[in-house]
């Protein structure tokens, strides 16, 4: 009996949770898996690993990033949707969580009802760029040029459902003109052909385009966010250039399986908030041309509302284009 009391006292001094017999240990009591539905080394994977490292320190348990690629991100998301709702399997996904609801007509889960929204992480801006020597001088000139030469202008993307594909669909919808689209197996090949002059236009994340823009290898016209990007201050926004309400960024969020207890979701959200205020994370995000979401956009409630709005925003754009991933 004295030994039991001594152990309880020692645990109290160390700040450890002492649970009654048969009770569940305090969460988290073991490592957490963060599923990234894309391959290692990409922008979303980079964001996930930065956030996971910081969150691990706060939670006192390691968050292990697991890359589950395939099917435009739906394979990994589907795995999390079916996981046990105990907080030990979470998902970090980008804008594809919203667009998949329309891009896939036979999606095996519901993005709005099969997950608990934990919080938004960051929104990576995009840029509209062109091959070197492309004739138009401004984004307004680009729009005029595309309308007059729609059968000749080529727009590259990294495949159906990729951020570059989504941005292109929104741009063509906004200007009321379709271009000839050229899909590639990833951003790398698309960028190579743009630099080489084989295609005319590409819209992609600043993580992929900033270096090319600053190196003078491509011609840049505008950023797709509401405000100008700090790393590319001379580039106007699409809205400044006359495309009212044109805004698209590759936003990221964290999700848990539906039914995960609120106290666990709140604990994950608190750790996420600490991570997004971490100077190291902020500095690395800046290197990627982005920054953490503002504090008022990080709550589970805001995330839920935002996701629903994004699903509604992209549905008519995707349906009008008539291009599906299944």
pLDDT in tens, the chain (326 residues): 444 444 444 444 334 444 454 567 899 999 999 999 988 887 889 999 999 999 999 999 999 999 998 888 999 999 999 999 999 999 999 999 999 999 999 999 999 999 999 999 999 999 999 999 999 999 999 999 999 999 999 999 988 888 899 999 999 999 999 999 999 887 889 999 999 999 999 999 888 898 899 999 999 999 999 899 988 999 999 999 889 889 899 999 999 999 999 999 999 999 999 999 999 999 999 887 789 999 999 999 999 999 999 999 999 989 988 888 88
Residue 299, helix vs strand vs coil: coil
| Alpha carbons 256 and 304: distance in angstroms, whole number | 12
| Alpha carbons 107 and 322: distance in angstroms, whole number | 17
* pLDDT at residue 22, rounded to an integer: 52
Q: What are phi and psi of 68, to 5 degrees?
A: -125, 80
* pLDDT at residue 12, rounded to an integer: 42
* Cβ count near 37 (within 10 Å): 29
* pLDDT at residue 9, rounded to an integer: 43
How many Cα atoms occupy the beta-carbon half-sphere of 68 within 13 Å? Answer: 19
* pLDDT at residue 6, rounded to an integer: 46
| Alpha carbons 124 and 225: distance in angstroms, whole number | 9
* pLDDT at residue 158, rounded to an integer: 86
Polymer length in residues for the chain: 326
Residue 28: cis peptide before it, omega within 30 degrees of 0 = yes
* Residue pointed to by tokens 């291009």: 323
Q: What is the pTM of this model?
A: 0.82
Give, in order, the Cα–Cα distances in Å from 214 to each of 9, 51, 211.
60, 27, 5
Residue 240, helix vs strand vs coil: coil
In 3D space, the residue among 113, 116, 181, 175 whose CA is nearest the CA of residue 144 turns out to be: 175
Tokens representing residue 139 in the block:
């984004």
In 3D space, the residue among 104, 229, 103, 222 whose CA is nearest the CA of residue 174 turns out to be: 222
């Amino acid at each position: 009996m004295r030994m039991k009391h001594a152990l309880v006292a020692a645990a109290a001094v160390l700040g450890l949770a002492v649970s009654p017999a048969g009770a569940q240990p305090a969460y988290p009591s073991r490592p957490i898996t963060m599923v990234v539905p894309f391959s290692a080394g990409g922008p979303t994977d980079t964001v996930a690993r930065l956030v996971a490292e910081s969150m691990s320190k706060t939670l006192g348990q390691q968050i292990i990033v697991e890359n589950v690629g395939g099917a435009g991100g739906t394979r990994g998301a589907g795995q999390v949707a079916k996981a046990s709702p105990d907080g030990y399997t979470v998902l970090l996904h980008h804008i594809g969580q919203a667009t998949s609801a329309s891009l896939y007509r036979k999606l095996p889960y519901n993005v709005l009802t099969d997950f608990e929204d934990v919080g938004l992480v960051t929104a990576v801006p995009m840029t509209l760029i062109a091959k070197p020597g492309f004739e138009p001088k401004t984004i307004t000139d680009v729009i005029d040029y595309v309308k007059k030469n729609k059968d000749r202008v080529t727009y590259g993307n990294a495949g159906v459902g990729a951020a570059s594909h989504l941005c292109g669909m929104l741009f063509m919808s906004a200007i009321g003109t379709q271009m000839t689209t050229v899909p590639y197996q990833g951003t790398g090949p698309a960028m190579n052909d743009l630099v080489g002059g084989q295609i005319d236009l590409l819209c992609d994340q600043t993580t992929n385009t900033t270096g090319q823009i600053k190196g003078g290898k491509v011609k840049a016209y505008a950023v797709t966010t509401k405000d100008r990007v700090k790393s590319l201050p001379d580039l106007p926004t699409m809205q400044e250039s006359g495309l009212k309400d044109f805004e698209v960024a590759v936003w990221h969020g964290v999700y848990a399986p539906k039914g995960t207890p609120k106290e666990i979701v709140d604990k994950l959200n608190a750790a996420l908030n600490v991570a997004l205020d971490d100077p190291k994370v902020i500095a690395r995000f800046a290197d990627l041309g982005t920054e953490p979401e503002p504090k008022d956009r990080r709550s589970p409630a805001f995330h839920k509302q935002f996701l629903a709005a994004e699903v509604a925003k992209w549905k008519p754009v995707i349906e009008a284009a008539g291009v599906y991933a299944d």
